[in-house]
Amino acid sequence: MIMKTKILHYPDLQKAKLRDSKSSNILSIKNEHFDDLKKLANGKKFYIKTYGCQANVRDEETIKGMLTQVGYEETNDIKNVDLIIINTCAVRENAEDKVYGEIGNLKKIRKENPDMVLAICGCMVEQPEILDFLIKTFPEVNLYFGTHEISYLYDLIYLALTTRERIVNIESKQGDVFEGLPSKRNNNYKAFVNIIYGCNKFCTYCIVPYTRGKERSRRFNDILDEVRELKKQGYKEITFLGQNVNAYGKDLNENHDFADLLEEAAKMGIPRIRFTTSHPWDFSSKMIDVIAKYDNIMKCIHLPVQSGNNQILKLMGRRYDREHYLNLVKEMRAKIPGLALSTDIIVGFPNETEEEFNDTLTLVDEVKYESAFTFIYSPRRGTPAAKMEDNISYKTKSERFQKLVDRLEIYISKDAETYVGTIQNVLVDCISKTDNKMVSGYTEKNKLVHFPGDETFIGQIVKVKITESHTYSLIGEIVHE
């Protein structure tokens, strides 16, 4: 397929790195071709596939809301589809490899359907070299848009449909805040609520600050209005989202911080409030006090540590040291009885020595996390760490990775065992993937529980007696009151 490429904007990592102190613009959606696209899209089918973090999942919900508003209908039948959107993640190489595989698989479908729009969006295309490669390798893709362009989706699809050119619109911006975008949530009892976009931390290994722009908070009342509306609609759980929720409000002149936001939301009475992700650098005592005070703020904190060694933390640009982190954990555990702590850890940062890695193991021994995500360091082009020479072999990194997982599992299993015999409130999510007579859901502290039940349980909070524990899940039975 030969197609001309029309570049509206192309990403530029130097621009993506800029940070000013200006407040972000609060914008509402404006598309020239909304009505034109409505005529073309009515009854047409779309398919969307999302990779990556909750920010991407929330973007997917916005995209679905926008498409539904002009008449597109969602389908899982990829063979009969008029629009395919692949929403990508750039955080590690294996996330990108999955996307290459996915687009490769779509080649045939694309050939059979020349009128279709095949779009790639999300964090991956924010990287110029990756975008060059995609354009060269996958001529069948005819629309690329970035994380800042979702609000112009109607115009972009309209252009791709009517010009028969490959449209590229990815601008490396610090970013704005869009309010009032439509949204079709994936779930009618659990909701993600964005509170702050972007990241200013620039940890040296991480691509996210380049792909998602600067830290910019939504207005306090806009967020609370959304929570109020979700409560009215019967939602049982909300999760406040941000790359770093603790920075909430710092860029606004509203005099409200994350603790204030949590407190006001808790007072509204939604049964479960969660939040992710927290950076240890700006987690305040005031936040800990608010979490301790309200029963409906779940006693779980995801507190990425990344490494237990001070030299590595310094090279990572994390802005805290081991002692600061452990003191924070101590304060949290003292003020919030029964707190469940989870974390992210990277092994194999460039030149990490055995001793430095051992500091991560001893930190795990001290904190005794209730759950954890572990990663092998993946160099991201354009980040400072990717320029560091690295003399540690992949084999050594893999061995350390396994050692770390084994160590974490000791504590995760021990914690799981303490649940046996207790009664837990479980918000039921779905029929179990392995046994259709069982349902699966999460406790307040985010432990996965399977127990006998049917689809009438989905979306309900029920009492479950725990009868058995595994490292990553619990088995139980419903308690009839």
Which spans of this chain sit near ligand 5AD (rule: CB under 6 A)? Answer: 91-92, 205-206, 304, 306, 344, 346, 375, 377-378, 380
- In the complex, the smallest distance separating the C-beta of residue 91 from ligand SF4, rounded to whole angstroms, is 8
- In the complex, the smallest distance separating the C-beta of residue 98 from ligand 5AD, rounded to whole angstroms, is 15
3-state SS class at 475: strand
Q: Which does 377 bind (CB under 5 to 8 A by kind): ligand SF4, ligand 5AD, none?
A: ligand 5AD
Select the span of 202-210, 222-230, 323-331, 386-394 touching ligand SF4 (CB under 6 A): 202-210
Of 202 and 294, nearer to ligand SF4 (C-beta) is 202
- Rounded Cα distance between 279 and 304, Å, is 7
Q: Which does 380 bind (CB under 5 to 8 A by kind): ligand 5AD, ligand SF4, none?
A: ligand 5AD
- In the complex, the smallest distance separating the C-beta of residue 448 from ligand 5AD, rounded to whole angstroms, is 20
Residue 99: half-sphere exposure toward Cβ, Cα within 13 Å: 31
Select the span of 103-111, 187-195, 204-212, 401-409 touching ligand SF4 (CB under 6 A): 204-212
Residue 209 in the binding site for ligand SF4 (CB under 6 A): yes
Q: Which long-range contacts (CB under 8 A, 24 or more apart) does 395-404 make?
A: 396/348, 397/347, 397/348, 400/347, 400/348, 400/357, 401/347, 401/348, 401/374, 401/376, 403/361, 404/345, 404/347, 404/360, 404/361, 404/364, 404/374
Residue 385 in the binding site for ligand SF4 (CB under 6 A): no
Query: Six-digit token pair at 200?
Result: 């200013």
- In the complex, the smallest distance separating the C-beta of residue 205 from ligand 5AD, rounded to whole angstroms, is 4
Name residues contacting ligand SF4, limited to 238-257 (CB under 6 A): 243-244
- Burial letters for 184-207: b for 16+ Cβ neighbours within 10 Å, e otherwise? ebebebbbbbbbbbbbbbebbbbb
Q: Which does 185 bind (CB under 5 to 8 A by kind): ligand SF4, ligand 5AD, none?
A: none
Residue 201 in the binding site for ligand SF4 (CB under 6 A): yes
- Rounded Cα distance between 309 and 362, Å, is 10
Name residues contacting ligand SF4, limited to 180-199 (CB under 6 A): 199
Q: Which does 328 bind (CB under 5 to 8 A by kind): ligand 5AD, ligand SF4, none?
A: none
- In the complex, the smallest distance separating the C-beta of residue 244 from ligand SF4, rounded to whole angstroms, is 5
Q: Which does 72 bind (CB under 5 to 8 A by kind): ligand 5AD, ligand SF4, none?
A: none
- Is residue 229 within 8 A of residue 264, CB to CB? The reply is no
Q: Which does 130 bind (CB under 5 to 8 A by kind): ligand 5AD, ligand SF4, none?
A: none
Of 185 and 201, nearer to ligand SF4 (C-beta) is 201
Select the span of 128-136, 178-186, 203-211, 363-371 touching ligand SF4 (CB under 6 A): 203-211
Residue 224 in the binding site for ligand SF4 (CB under 6 A): no
Of 130 and 208, nearer to ligand SF4 (C-beta) is 208
Of 92 and 274, nearer to ligand SF4 (C-beta) is 92
Of 87 and 244, nearer to ligand SF4 (C-beta) is 244
Residue number closest to ligand 5AD, CB atom: 344
Q: Which does 246 bind (CB under 5 to 8 A by kind): ligand 5AD, ligand SF4, none?
A: none
- Is residue 65 within 8 A of residue 182, CB to CB? The reply is yes
Name residues contacting ligand SF4, limited to 263-282 (CB under 6 A): 279
147: cis peptide before it, omega within 30°?
Answer: no
Residue 392 in the binding site for ligand SF4 (CB under 6 A): no
- Is residue 392 within 8 A of residue 350, CB to CB? The reply is yes
- Rounded Cα distance between 168 and 159, Å, is 10
Strand runs labelled E in 80-205? 83-88, 117-122, 143-145, 166-169, 177-179, 190-194, 196-197
Q: Which does 346 bind (CB under 5 to 8 A by kind): ligand 5AD, ligand SF4, none?
A: ligand 5AD
- Rounded Cα distance between 372 and 345, Å, is 8
- Rounded Cα distance between 106 and 125, Å, is 18
Q: At 355, phi and psi to the nearest 5?
A: -65, -45
- In the complex, the smallest distance separating the C-beta of residue 221 from ligand 5AD, rounded to whole angstroms, is 30
- Residue 25 is given by DSSP the state P
Q: Which long-range contacts (CB under 8 A, 24 or more apart) does 225-232 make?
A: 226/193, 227/193, 227/265, 227/268, 227/270, 228/268, 230/191, 230/193, 230/270, 231/268, 231/269, 231/270
Find where tokens 């964090």 sit. Answer: 123
Of 79 and 381, nearer to ligand 5AD (C-beta) is 381
Find where tokens 């449909």 sit. Answer: 161
Q: Which parts of this chain interact with ligand SF4 (CB under 6 A)? A: 199, 201-203, 206, 208-209, 243-244, 279
